[in-house]
């Protein structure tokens, strides 16, 4: 799928997956997300995802949708260097996006940004 189509379908699903390696161990975690200035925005608390962003790890983000019969759908894969948003102006813009974390925590919410320069998408049609 071309980039524009990938960006069009991503907002149609509520969850994606963030994958990476922290301290030599792989992880894949479900995340709610939003498109933010053409990139992936994840709101999170302290933990594995945030650690990956703070250390500038290269991560993968994937979102997909398939029909109930499994015969057609799409998948988008993004690879890039995750980073925590800390600059005041950018952070204010991120906080204005309607995006919440589902995990309860006493710690303040933090935001991760994953660039979409390395994005691929596929459509599946098995009919």
CB 20 within 8 A of CB 58: yes
The sign of the CA dihedral 7, 10, 12, 14 is negative
What DSSP state is assigned to residue 13?
S
**What DSSP line would sit under 23-45, residue for residue?**
TTEEEEEEEE-EEETTEEEEEE-
* pLDDT in single tens digits along all 127 residues of the chain: 999 999 999 999 989 999 998 888 888 989 999 999 999 999 988 777 878 787 878 899 999 999 888 779 999 999 999 999 999 999 999 999 988 766 666 666 889 999 999 999 999 886 5
Q: What gap in Å lies between CA 15 and CA 120, rounded to an integer?
A: 18
The CATH classification of domain 3-125, taken from the options 3.30.479.30, 2.30.110.10, 2.40.100.20, 2.40.340.10 = 2.30.110.10
What DSSP state is assigned to residue 48?
H
């Amino acid at each position: 799928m071309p980039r524009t189509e990938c960006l069009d379908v991503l907002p149609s699903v509520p969850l994606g997956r963030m994958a990476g390696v922290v301290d030599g161990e792989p992880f894949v975690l479900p995340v709610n997300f939003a498109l933010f200035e053409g990139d992936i925005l994840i709101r999170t608390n302290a933990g594995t995802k945030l650690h990956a962003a703070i250390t500038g790890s290269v991560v993968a983000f994937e979102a997909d949708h398939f029909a109930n019969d499994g015969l057609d759908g799409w998948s988008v894969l993004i690879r890039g260097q995750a980073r925590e948003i800390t600059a005041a102006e950018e952070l204010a813009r991120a906080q204005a996006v309607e995006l919440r974390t589902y995990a309860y925590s006493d710690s303040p919410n933090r935001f991760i940004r994953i660039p979409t320069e390395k994005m691929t998408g596929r459509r599946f049609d098995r009919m």
